[in-house]
Structure 1
């Protein structure tokens, strides 16, 4: 695959090929995972482990697009993660025209003296990625490519069992310099495609604040967040951590369908972004890996439907 060339604000994508995705199945779930570089070769999101659709019991869906307007936004959809949204590795050390690593993507080129901006497209020299898959599991191995003293091997494994989707990460610092950054999963979610509004409720570890949003939009009761009406513009909040490992958020719809995310690490913070058609709770993992160090962490997503008797169907 050739690098992605950037001409001003125009991203020219080369060798973009529609390739059949990887489909993981359990008796309850069908999870579609994109093959790296086939439907997305931008410079923001990790190319590996991109979940484009999730179906529970052949009838309930969970994934949405970042934007419903073609060409708008940064191309996110479903469950896709990102490294370095706030702390890009090696960016400040790279001179204009020089490269810096973006984990899960490749070596990006710094075009000028401007500060890093996650939504800005950068020229990409992709990392070499190996993929191994069977019916219920897929592993992506992103091989190290040294750059200015930084080098990391990333192994990500997605697996399904019953109504659970697990994403296991292994990051090995093979470079000379310490890797300090964040990782999070940008969960672009809509339950059965329903727009955000009064039929949804979200449980978080603490109550978020939205200083720029109308106070009439949100309601908080018994630990749950609800919406009085469908929001007319995007909203964002950041919840300060750290939080204990375990369940971090749960989203349900009045129809009974829902999902939750648990992690085995102490999140540095949690962000909440949303729009009329999508909501995204984002749980951030803080990374500080010294030379030669290996770090592992796991995210687990639980998809369910609640029956009329209050029970949960897996």
Structure 2
């Protein structure tokens, strides 16, 4: 089996350019050659940490920001490796995934399980530095991660399950920062679920033909020609819930000044999505790193007082 680049891994990615050849299959097993997935797993946690800090009148905890960055990289690697073990037969039939290390035989199933164990152990070392609620939530996320690879076999909406999984960090980050949960965290989590449902539907556009041949279900296949409208609906719900976070947390005016940028970014994606343009769909999917950073910035900025307060008018 060839070790050619996957279509969604840039030929100039750092793994192929800089990593020693013996390490490349392992780094690709953890998808370190495609870091956008790390961003998308990490950002809900960052957003929740920012939200908690803003509600407490302070900047986000730099320790938690760093811990969630490392933890997201490790858990995304473990999740991808487990996904590759479960999907190795399907991956071998799909052009975009046939070169993955397990499907192509570069790494055995047993070796992949060792890789998963090491990633989880390192993640646990980070998790135990947080409070009991955060530790419990972190352990609970493993059930979502373990079930995800099977969703494409039993439902047309595996992207929704990915949303539940990838945005668990919104609850975990808020709990780690405050020691509790609350309505703002729940709204942020729900917003993220619909955000992921939208962007992963875009991602699934790449595989429409191959998924149909392999019998793999996806929201893109289920929606068919209405996929663009479906993504627009998912993003509209996500945006509404994100705005509701500001109301529930009583965030300052700057939050509402930045949120329209988030809305414009999501709208742009829906307008540019074309079902016959897999490369364009991949570019739109990757742009969600920037969308998530815009919402993160809005949540940080929300700590500044509303303009109504600046002018001395009481709420």
For this structure pair, what is the TM-score category when the shorter chain's length is used for normalisation?
A: under 0.3
The structure with the largest strand share of the pair is: 1
Normalization by structure 2: what TM-score? 0.28
Query: Higher relative contact order at CA 8 Å, sep ≥6: structure 1 or structure 2?
Result: 2
The structure with the largest helix share of the pair is: 2
